[in-house]
Structure 1
Amino acid sequence: MNNQSTSDDSDRATVTMWTDGACKGNPGVGGWGVWMTSGAHTKELFGGENHTTNNRMELMAVIEGLRALKRPCDVNLHVDSTYVMKGITSWIHGWKRNGWRTADKKPVKNAELWRELDDQVTRHRVTWTWVKGHSGDVGNDKADELANKGVELVRSTTSSTPTEPPSRHMPATKE
């Protein structure tokens, strides 16, 4: 399944990106991962949050991946989340028309992340591709590995004090 959004800038680099989210408990400790390539260059990103959901981590992976691009690019973006895929290519148009409400008039879950993703997508020309998770796709497997690193990052840096507020861990990068 492919879908493309466009923007008018020219002379863009082409980036291929795989993203994934993970959550241990849902809600629970979550992580997100991004693996991207452009020519001979690769970049890894990962991070996470303490009290979160898998859907939030799937969204954060795409947002952080697009945010990491320093200039507008042609992005071939591979996701294994039907929530993200359908949300950004189909549902978002109705949500925006309906004031960020679903067809049954309920507030859109994770609306702040959908808005941020929408903003990031408008900076680039994105071709969306859905891939089946855990099916041997090398890029998806790498993004999954990075998302799990994000979970471990949160677990290793979060105090067990029950009164501590939820924490958000920023991206770790490796080139």
Structure 2
Amino acid sequence: MTIIAAADGSALGNPGPAGWSWYIDDDTWAAGGWKKSTNNRGELMAVAELLAATAHRADEELCILCDSQYVINSVTKWMPGWKKKGWKKRDGKPVLNVDILSVIDRLMQGRNVRFEWIKGHAGHEMNEAADERARAAATSFQAGEPANEGPGFPGATKSAELMMAAPETVGSSATAEASSSTSGKAAQGGLFDAAADPVAEAASKVRAAQTTLVRAAGKARDGEDARLQFLTKRAALVPADLSAAFPGDFSAPRPEVNVIGSTGVAITRGSGWTATSTWDLSADAVLVAHHLSIHA
């Protein structure tokens, strides 16, 4: 049996109030969103949540109807190459939205997933239903009202949002093998020799960089924004305004960290918002993207 579903995202302004939705039929659909995010993140989140909702039916083919070439190309064409390069693009810059893409990658493992492009706003019944629900979610967040999350998928036990909230710190198989090999050599060298864990070291590097960013944001709120300007000069900021991208309670003594190749992602949470900071760890940690999603 094949599960056929449409996935779509919507943003009222880009960035702006945003929503996502996947739709199978009137009794099987889900939606969500943020008070401020982007259309691309909505499109990706719809796919991630659909994969999570159907994870317990992994033995069945999943056909995803999608009107976003960005999503389809990211998942089916570009993602394998990005992973080999440590989640870097051809120009060496870290991939944007890696926090959602890495969850999609995990959820697709061992599954038969097929994407089918359909033209948006062209009267396709399922696409229109998903678009309508994604836009309704965005509109609800714009109005400060709770979005209709829908009935969901029967028997679903996973959530992409929860997976992002508790990210795995991962490295490549080559890193794991190298760590194991180094560990063996350390054991031969002496009982108290400790092998360096490159993934743990990278995570510590991200946390240190994030701490510096938090302090710089605090100084910026006091009128001294030179350091924050310097740290963010190479970064794609959403929203673009520094004062909006770093809210007053932007602080976390220990952010949630995910290391993917030479890219680090730090997730900081506050009252009604989530900030995703993406760091290039090739040399010194460099902030390449910072995205603030406002939930309420």
**TM-score surpassing 0.5?**
yes
Equivalent residue letter for 2:36: H
8 Å CA contact 2:272–2:295 kept in 1: the answer is no
Q: In the alignment, is residue 80 of structure 1 matched against residue 70 of structure 2?
A: no
Q: Over residues 41-95 of structure 1, what are the superposed CA-to-partner deviations in whole Å (9 max), with x where a residue is unaligned? A: 8411110012211100000001111111133131111100000000001010110
Structure-2 separation of matches of 1:22 and 1:56: 9
Pick from 12, 23, 44 the counterpart of residue 35 of structure 1.
23
Q: Over residues 148-171 of structure 1, what are the superposed CA-to-partner deviations in whole Å (9 max), with x where a residue is unaligned? A: 12112323436xxx86652448xx
Pick from 6, 10, 18 the counterpart of residue 6 of structure 2.
18
- The aligned runs of 1:124-143 (5 Å cut-off) are 124-143=111-130
- The aligned runs of 1:1-175 (5 Å cut-off) are 13-37=1-25, 42-69=27-54, 70-72=56-58, 73-157=60-144, 165-166=272-273, 167-168=294-295
Structure-1 separation of matches of 2:37 and 2:72: 20
Structure-1 separation of matches of 2:136 and 2:50: 16
Structure with the larger strand share: 1
8 Å CA contact 1:48–1:153 kept in 2: the answer is no
Structure with bigger gyration radius: 2
Structure-2 separation of matches of 1:20 and 1:77: 10
TM norm structure 2: 0.48
8 Å CA contact 1:31–1:48 kept in 2: the answer is yes
Percent identity between the two aligned chains: 35
8 Å CA contact 1:18–1:35 kept in 2: the answer is yes
Equivalent residue letter for 2:72: M
TM norm structure 1: 0.79
Structure-2 separation of matches of 1:138 and 1:36: 10
Higher relative contact order (CA 8 A, sep 6+): 1
Residue segments in structure 1 that go unaligned for 5+ positions in a row: 1-12, 170-175
Q: Over residues 128-162 of structure 1, what are the superposed CA-to-partner deviations in whole Å (9 max), with x where a residue is unaligned? A: 1010100111110001001012112323436xxx8
Stretches (4+) displaced over 2 A = 155-158, 162-169
